[in-house]
Each structure stands twice: as structure tokens, then as C-alpha cells.
Amino acid sequence: MSTTSLKRQYVMEEYPDEEFLFMEPNDFDAAIVGVTSFDPVVVYDAHKIIEILESQGMCNSEALRYFDCNIAGAYMGEKTPVYIWGV
């Protein structure tokens, strides 16, 4: 069985000529909401990432701090994912 989620697979199939940076581990694939239309990069739902971190044992404040410092604050080059706070 493949460890590639359907969301990740969809992004890669829709943009076969693009390279993307995805969050690891694949647990965060559930937070993928799409791809930007300019210089395509993966878009993640920040609320969903917080939920995933909480499901892994962090309290809300720990998850928010971890997200701010280690995820949203990380620059990984031109293909760095985008994080949105949807409603």
C-alpha cells in the first residue's frame, strides 16, 4: 500500500511538471487545501495542522507555538508551502 495520500497524489498529478515541498510526515496531508495559482506551491489549512498536532498529544497552546516557530516560521526556499487560516 502506498503512503502517498490522495490529496498529495492529486497535487502531483494535476501539476506533473512542477516540484512541490510537502510537510512531513504524511500526517499533515489531511491539511492540504490546494495549490497557489502563481508559482505553484502547496497550500495548507493552519487550523487543520493545529488539530493534527493536538491529536499527536500537544495541548492547544503547545500546538500553536510549535506551528508558529517550526512550521509557519520556516522558509525552505521558493517552494515553501503557504498556510492559510480559513474560516
Q: Which of 25-29, 71-75, 80-84 has the lowest mean pLDDT?
A: 25-29
Share of the chain above pLDDT 90, in %: 83
Does the pTM surpass 0.95? The reply is no
26-52 CB burial, b ≥16 within 10 A, e <16: eebbebbebbeeeebbbbbbbebbbeb
**What average pLDDT score do residues 4-12 get?**
89
* Torsion angle (degrees, nearest 10) of CA 9, 15, 16, 22: -50
Per-residue pLDDT reduced to its tens digit, 27-56: 899 999 999 988 899 999 999 999 999 999
